[in-house]
Amino acid sequence: MRIRAFWAEGFRSLESVHLPDLGAFNERLEAELGQVPLLLERDGARRAMLGLALASEAAGLAFFGHGGEDRLFDNDGAAALDEHNLALVRDRWVHAFACRAGDHLAGPAAAAGVRCFVGYESALNIDWTPDEIPDPIRPAFIELVTQTTLELARGVSDGDALRRAALGAQATVIAWCDEHPEQAMGLEITAQQLVARLVVRPGS
């Protein structure tokens, strides 16, 4: 089983917050699932490259970048995934870590045969820059962001189960922010949104 990971450059929480050097994502997948994802980043994070990558065997797609109500954007600002190319992810799961990815794309994705589409409704609060994330909370924040991808890779597609899986890391982040409000920078809001605004659409 393989995973394609699409990293759209310019998403400021991507390289240093979600994964300081992409290594944390790789390490979790390899340690817990025995998988190393094929990464599409920078020049490779474009619509055409996504199509080529998904032409071969892949169990799912983890997308980390910018989103709109009905599309996920690539490095050029074009639609990497929208209603016109959802066939690329038919019979696969998709974790779209992007603003508004769950607003209007989730329904068509499920109807197009996506095994399970996970996105977020409305915009996510990202009022911090990557280098500002305090070291003590970084591991828990990485765990929170990556947990949904790992659960999807394990075959979980139930919304309540996906939310429960993220609650432990969410609680750690929020508790730390409550104890260190001067360093929180709104991370507790982001942590709340990553569970509360999670949109899960299993395929029909």
Quote the pLDDT of residue 73.
86
CA distance 169 to 190: 12
Quote the pLDDT of residue 202.
92
User: In this predicted model, what pLDDT tens digit does every residue of 124-180 receive, in sequence order?
Assistant: 887 776 678 898 988 888 888 888 988 988 889 999 999 999 999 899 999 999 999
Residue type, position 163, single letter: R
Quote the pLDDT of residue 42.
58
CA distance 74 to 63: 10
Tokens 């609680």 correspond to what residue?
A: 171
The CATH number of 3-198 is which of 1.25.40.80, 3.40.50.1460, 3.20.20.10, 3.40.190.10?
A: 3.40.50.1460
Residues 170, 194 contacting (CB under 8 angstroms): yes
DSSP string of 70-133, one letter each residue: SEEE-TTSSEEEETTSGGGGBTSEEEEESTTTTTSSHHHHHHTTBSEEEEESS-----S-GGGS
User: In this predicted model, what pLDDT tens digit does every residue of 62-86 receive, in sequence order?
Assistant: 887 788 888 988 877 888 899 999 9
Q: Is the pLDDT of residue 46 over 80?
A: no
Domain limits, the chain: 3-198
